[in-house]
Structure 1
Amino acid sequence: MIIRLEEENDVKEREQLLDAVMGPHRKRKSSEKLRRGRMPSAGLAFSGIANDGHLIGTVRLWDIELDHDEEGIRNALLLGPLAVSCSHHGSGVGSQLMRTAIRSAALLGHGAIILVGNPAYYGRFGFSNELTGKIAMPGPFERERFLALELTAEHLSGCSGIIRPNGRYRRAIKVANCVSKVALAS
């Protein structure tokens, strides 16, 4: 298996994988509100590809912003979803994707990663809910599953309020007269 940057031709297979792993209600989650209509953070969408060329894992990080006591706004990343095909659970694909995502985010100069997930799983990568006490997700979420990892010391210190999306918009496709498609630049 290899981990590489997500390619455009991975997207359809990625969506199928997410539906299979996370179920039909995955788009109703609070974290989806932060991703809707946005592109993943530049250079921070990864695919796990099996030796036969099929996608077996995926993770993306998204640009978000938080209120900050002194700076007004501080940027961070939202991780998710992380998904691995059921046939490859327990094979280390998820761990490899996580390590790649964390290392790449740090190399690109990001200060913190936030996610909603299993504390036992994500705790092995350094995530905890100790850093998320003054911040919140838009919509319902489980406080004990709201975790963060600082890539830069004290990056989340002084942050509070509800996380907001802050990233590139996806290019919209508009259908005119149900026949021709026109791409609109954001």
Structure 2
Amino acid sequence: MTEPSLSLSVVVVREAAGDAPAVERLAERAFGPGRFARTAYRLREIAAPDWDLCCVARVSTLLVGANRMTPLGIGDTPALMLGPLTVDPAFRGRGIAAGLVTRSLEAARAAGHALVLLVGDEPYYRRFGFTRVPPGRLQMPGPVDAARVLWCELVPGASEGVAGPVGARRRP
């Protein structure tokens, strides 16, 4: 006798205001309390996410993944910070993270953004167009492994000449 095969349908949608508590619980389960000490989290503390670019993944009514996009500046250049990209440990390995990244990058491109920054694993993020930031171009607000600082040009040439401190976006 063969076992029945169950297929779970995952839907990626824009994050709603009411999703925030579930997203925070998911981040707690996935990353633990040490996440707040990371430089990437320090950057996210300086500005609120751009809610139009944030998304969640659901299996039925269960929130199983989330990604946020936060506006920041690199010197005087506007950019976005991708993450935290979070997937419930029980649902990893099913393409949910890739769906969240793709949806967020598509939304950012459609909204006219040119450059996205993240701290992550280059082998994973390369497929989305992320490349390592050349050494010495950015000054992060805390310690970070330079090999994990990546960016993605949503507009060709968007990273040319971009350098400086990474922090709150300066408004014109």
TM-score (normalizing by structure 1): 0.82
Corresponding residue for 1:124?
Answer: 127
User: Is 1:56 matched up with 2:64?
Assistant: yes
Q: Is the 8 A contact 1:38 1:167 kept in 2?
A: no
C-alpha contact (below 8 Å) 2:64/2:88 kept by paired residues? yes
**1:83-110 C-alpha deviation (Å, 9 max, x unpaired):** 1001110011101001101111100000
CA shift, 1:80, in A, is 0.8
Amino acid in structure 2 at the alignment position of 1:139 = G
Is 2:17 aligned against 1:14? Answer: no
Mark the CA change 1:55 to 1:42 in structure 2 (over 3 Å): closer, same or farther. closer
Asked if residue 98 in structure 1 is aligned to residue 101 in structure 2, the reply is yes
- Report SS of the residue matched to 1:10: helix
* Structure in which a larger fraction of residues adopt strand: 1
Q: 1:133 to 1:155 in 2, by over 3 A?
A: farther
- Contact 1:41 / 1:167 at 8 angstroms: preserved in 2? no
Q: How many residues align?
A: 162
Does 2:87 correspond to 1:84?
yes
Q: Which amino acid aligns with 1:152?
A: V
1:48 counterpart SS class: strand
Residues 46 and 168 in structure 2, CA contact (< 8 A), matched pair in contact too: no
State the distance in 1 between where 2:25 and 2:170 align: 24
Q: Which moved more, 1:125-134 or 1:28-37?
A: 125-134
Q: TM-score, normalised by structure 2?
A: 0.88
Q: 8 Å contact 1:76–1:112 — kept in the other structure?
A: yes
Higher helix share: 2
Runs of 4+ in structure 1 deviating by more than 4 angstroms, as ranges, are: 130-133
